[in-house]
Amino acid sequence: MDLFAQLFVNGLVNGSHYALLGVGFGLIFATTRILHFAYGPIFTAAAYAAWFAANVLGLPIAAAMLFAAAIAAVLGVITYQYLYLPFERGQGSSHVTLIASLGLFIVLENLIAIIFGTGGRVIDGYQYSIFLIGPIYFSSVQLGQVIAMVVLTALLGVYLARTRHGKAILATTDNPEMARIIGIDTVRVSRLVFAIGSALSAIPATLILLKDGASPSMGFFAVFIAFVAVIVGGVGSLRGAVAGGLALGMVESLGLWKIPTEWQSSIAFIVLFLVVLLRPQGLFGRAVN
């Protein structure tokens, strides 16, 4: 029972992490229909930016996080403006944009490896606290992951539903042409979601930096799991991305209860496989006809 409770908490924590990644990626995907592979290395860059701010500049963690978010936002917008937008305007299918995104992924990941070296980076002298409630233990960072997901997702939800820009994003997600017709500048909306989506990824990136340290290849798993969370949860749904991420985290963790560690990642995929087979639109997505 104790093991189960611990696994449950771990699942919740990891699920929150995946959920937040999914929310950022999903926002970009639902609004622009671009499979933004380079989301991964931008996530990595954010982690390193936070490391730089905290370790080299000596800023407090919160400030480092904001610094990372700013860097990520800028990188996201530049990627959109100079890579995706020219491809969208030219001919060629969406597959081409995907491969171009992959090219950027390769470039960025290796650039980061050259600049910062392949070894992991941690913030010198940082130690997180551990809490114990009954038989369950968790760290301050893990608590932060859950809180971050709840707070940021709620804020995003309010932003989308209540602000002018938020509504413009929702409109563009629903019907890009109609959005243009009522006077929304869909290019500006795309830039906005790239900025927001990328900035969102900086929070989990910083938390991972605190928990495990940063490494140049951390981006691959991040974008991959974000993508899976969005598909499981349903494209175009904020609740869906959260549900998808949490579901993945839970299944992965609870799967450990009975199944040996080396099969852990496979369990999640089998579940994914089944979800997509039985309910292709995801948990909260619109029905596919």
Partner 1 sequence: MEYILHILVMVCIYGILAVSFNLLIGFAGLFAMAQAAFYAFGAYATAILTLKLGLPFPADLLIGVAITAFIGALVAIPAIRISGTYLVVVTLALQVIVIAIATNWKSLTGGTDGLRGIPSLHIFGYALDNPGRFLPAAIVALVICFWIAWRLVNSPFGRALRAMRENESAAEAVGKNLLYMKVAVFAFSAGLAAVAGSLFARYLNYVGAESFGIDETIYMLAMVILGGTGNLWGSLVGAAVLVILPELLKFVTLPTEIADKSHLIIYGLLLIVILRLRPEGLLAERSTMRHLPHVDDTSRHSAEMTEPLRTGEVTLSGNDLHKRFGGIVAVAGFNIVLKSGSITGLIGPNGAGKTTAFNLLTGFLSLDSGNITFRGRNITGLKSHDIVRAGVARSFQDLRLFTKMTALENVMVALPNQAGDRVFDVFFRPMQIHREEQDNLVRARAVLDFVGLTHKAYETAENLSYAEEKLLVIGRLLATGAEVFLFDEPLSGLDRTTLAEIFPIVRKLADSGKTICIIEHNLDVIKELCDVVYFLDEGHAMATGTPDQLMNDPALATRYFK
Partner 2 sequence: MSAAILETRGLAAGYGKKQIVHDIDLSLGRGEILLVLGHNGAGKTTLMRAIFGLLKPIAGEVTYDGKPIAGRSPGDNVAEGIAFVPQGHGIFRTLSVRDNLELGGFIMSDKTRLPDRMQTIFKLFPILNERQQQIGGTLSGGQQQMLAIGMALMHEPRVVILDEPSIGLAPNLVDRVMQSIAEINKSFGTSILMVEQNVRYSLPIASRVAVLKAGRKIYDGPPARLQDDVELMKLF
**Binding stretches for partner 1 (CB under 8 A):** 35, 83, 86-87, 90-93, 95-96, 99-100, 102-107, 110-111, 113-114, 224, 227-228, 231, 235, 262-263, 265-266, 269-270, 272-273, 276-277, 280, 288
Which three-class secondary structure state does DSSP give residue 172? helix
Q: Which is nearer to partner 2, 175 or 217 (CB)?
A: 175
Query: Quick check: 242 and 26 in contact, CB under 8 A?
Result: no
Binding-residue pattern over the window 204 to 223 for partner 2, x denoting contact by CB under 8 A: --------------------
**257: exposed, middle or buried (Cβ count in 10 Å: 0-12, 13-18, 19+):** exposed
> 288 Cβ partners below 8 Å, 6+ apart?
280, 281
Stretch that binds partner 2, among 111-119, 130-138, 180-188, 275-283 (CB under 8 A): 180-188
CB of residue 268 vs partner 1: minimum separation in angstroms? Answer: 9
CB of residue 62 vs partner 1: minimum separation in angstroms? Answer: 32
CB of residue 258 vs partner 2: minimum separation in angstroms? Answer: 40
Which three-class secondary structure state does DSSP give residue 136? strand
Tokens of 213: 């340290």
Binder to partner 2 among 1, 132, 133, 181 (CB under 8 A)?
181
The per-residue DSSP string of 94-125 comes to HHHHHHHHHHHHHHHHHHHHHHH-SS-B--TT
Binding site for partner 2 (CB under 8 A): 164, 167-168, 170-171, 174-175, 177-178, 180-185, 236, 286
